[in-house]
Chains A and B, each alone.
Chain A
Amino acid sequence: MDTLKQELKENIVEQLNLEDISVDDIDDNDILFGEGLGLDSIDALELIVMLDKNYGIKLTDPKEGRAIFESINVMAKYISENRTK
């Protein structure tokens, strides 16, 4: 689980181009969207592709993403329960 969390943080920083944020800055419980890490709806779409590409999880409704991407903890839990690769 910790490896997955670390991997998620690395991917988020890299794919979303979070220039001023390092992996260590992200706490497992930090809120990722809005006031938290500042992610927005375009980032949510980027993360949906990441779920599909890296873990074989397909979301069809972008609204589903918001709950899943709440924090690293929530994301990691969802991925470990639903991943197909």
Chain B
Amino acid sequence: MRAVYINSVGSISSQKTFDNSQFLDEIVSYEDNIILAVDPNYKDYIAPANSRRMAKGIKMGVVASKIALKEANLDNVDAIITGTGMGCLKDSKKFLSAIIDNDEQFLTPTSFIQSTHNTVGGQIALGLKCKGYNFTYVHASVSFESAVLDAKLMLENNEASSVLVGGVDEIEEYTCTLHKLINHIKEEKVNTTDLLGSKTKGAVFSEGANFFVLSNIKQDSSYAQIVAISTYNTIKSTNITDLAGTFLKENDLDIEAIDLLVLGNNGDVTYDSFYNELSCGVFNKTQQVYYKHLCGEFNTASSFGVWLASKILKTQKLPEVTKLNDIRASNYNTILLYNQYRGENHSFTLLRKC
């Protein structure tokens, strides 16, 4: 069985992350409950003839994947595996509204086509002329992790040597209105630096795309090794410590072996307890960081967490703004990531310096 490496990254997020030569050098601060991605100039990457029908989600996915491919020095890959919670929401909204508003008359196909969940993965393949394996996972907060797990299996068993993997979701206004109604989005505007102090229900919603080239061949650009990844549909709150222990044990590791814990806290007073149990419990002597104050919450926000951990492992630098406690590890070799959304679909990811 072969080891699996993250050979390159490409990120579009609410921070200026699309330039791989930088690492959160400047932080964009927000005072809001819905934040958008900092857009690169998409025209620099996609010809107008190709982009004219592309939804924002497709543009973010295509560009993030182009950045990742370029850094890995690849023109193509053996497989493309995408995770997305909601797909291209704007087009889904557009088509659904048109059905209702026009009583099913005079509808056009473009927004329907884009509403299909695998449209991002399909468009990336179309652009690359990549005829390889092409899967899209759509399972809430483990959409991205499912994609990574699939790619990892493929690379370990030598069914592929390079796989493009990514998580992508876009913001759509009316959907946000609905999520405000049920308190999934915070009622009040929150400052970036105060997210975890908000003590209110819901999260700050956002969008983004984080793509990675995974490979079973290490190269100069490699960021990290993906040692293990596990997802869990459910978990009892009292059980998260045990589960973390079991996950580490399966990989012949203990708590002390972890140099850094990357947590998906989103400031939701009801559900951050899962993270707090780990950060205040068995990991209270471990250095900890969080990131959803920078990238917001969306179904594939944890892909930003993997981007962050990858950057830390490669550069051995840790942005001040991400620190959750004052502990300072001497160096960063092994990183554990934990994420969940509203108490469901938990995941542990284990990365190692390579």
Contact = CB atoms under 8 A, between A and B. Distances in A.
Nearest to A19: B48
A81 interface: no
A8 B19 CA distance: 41
Contact of A18 (B52, B106, B110): B52
B107 interface: yes
B21 interface: no
B193 to A, nearest CB: 38
Interface string B33-72: 0000000000000001101110000000000000000000
B53 A49 contact: no
Contacts of B281: none
Contacts of B48: 19-20
Nearest to B113: A42
Nearest to B107: A49
A83 B49 CA distance: 31
Contacts of A19: 48, 51-52
Contact of A49 (B49, B51, B52, B106): B106
A52 interface: yes
B41 to A, nearest CB: 13
10 contacts: A15-B108, A17-B52, A17-B53, A18-B52, A19-B48, A38-B49, A42-B109, A46-B109, A49-B106, A52-B106
Interface of A: 15-20, 38, 42, 45-46, 49, 52-53
Q: 8 tightest CB-CB pairs across the interface, nearest first? A: A20-B48, A17-B52, A19-B48, A53-B106, A45-B109, A49-B108, A46-B108, A19-B52
Interface of B: 48-49, 51-53, 106-110, 113
